[in-house]
Amino acid sequence: MKKIIIAVAVLCAGFAAQAQDKENATAFANDIKQKGVQVFDVRTAAEYKTGHLPNALQADFTQKPEFYERAKYLDKQKPVYVYCLGGGRSAGAAKWMRENGFTKVVELEGGINAWKQSGLPVEDVAVKAAQLTMDDYNQQVKVKGWVLTDVGAAWCPPCRQMEPVLKDLLAKRKDVKLVKVDGGNDTDVMKAINAKELPTFIVYKDGVEQARLTGVTSKDNLEAMLK
């Protein structure tokens, strides 16, 4: 009897812990306002563009190489609030993250569908500015001196991680012009310059490409391209 009671207690504790790992839309909305919280959208890029939660990073859980690559740039010691459309994909993503060392992962119960049904607003990126054209891009990079092209996106975890690195670099190198290519919008330019990964960094001198790097890198590596 004692063993049965213990087993039931352990089972109940497990259910309680699982319940605490999910929140309804109202609680989720309040909690993601906290400092240091990471909001993670695991839908496709196309779904993300139809509307997303504030400050959400994105990685498609159905595309495992992309998901694993981007997830590794999240801080495992800080809370991750994860969501998808209805809760299925986020449950799988949350399970993987918990099994891989993330200390606190909270799922949005019912996904963004429940969020909208609760009357909560989403940030809409469906209406974008016109794409950067190759003519516009060439006008920016084919100039005298050093140019650094940053192909990235605000919702890309490794791109977000590179922001302070770029800021420090440009503060030191006043002679370098930064050109931004939006990885979620400027797809024609990305194809033309063969930028297949986010982020991609391309260095030009006097209008001629000198070097490129992809992914998270150091300021020293970027500086080495500018010599």
Please give the positions annotated as active site: 84
DSSP 123: B
Is 186 in contact with 170 (CB distance < 8 Å)? no
CA distances 83 to 38, 122, 130, 186, 188, Å, are 11, 13, 29, 26, 30
**Widest CA span in the chain:** 83
The continuous run of DSSP H or E covering 202 comes out as strand 200-205
HSE at residue 99, side-chain half, CA atoms within 13 A, is 7
d(CA 36, CA 77): 10
Token code pair at residue 37? 């919280």
Token code pair at residue 203? 């260095």
Token code pair at residue 130? 């016109």
CA distances 155 to 59, 66, 133, 135, 167, Å, are 9, 13, 22, 26, 18
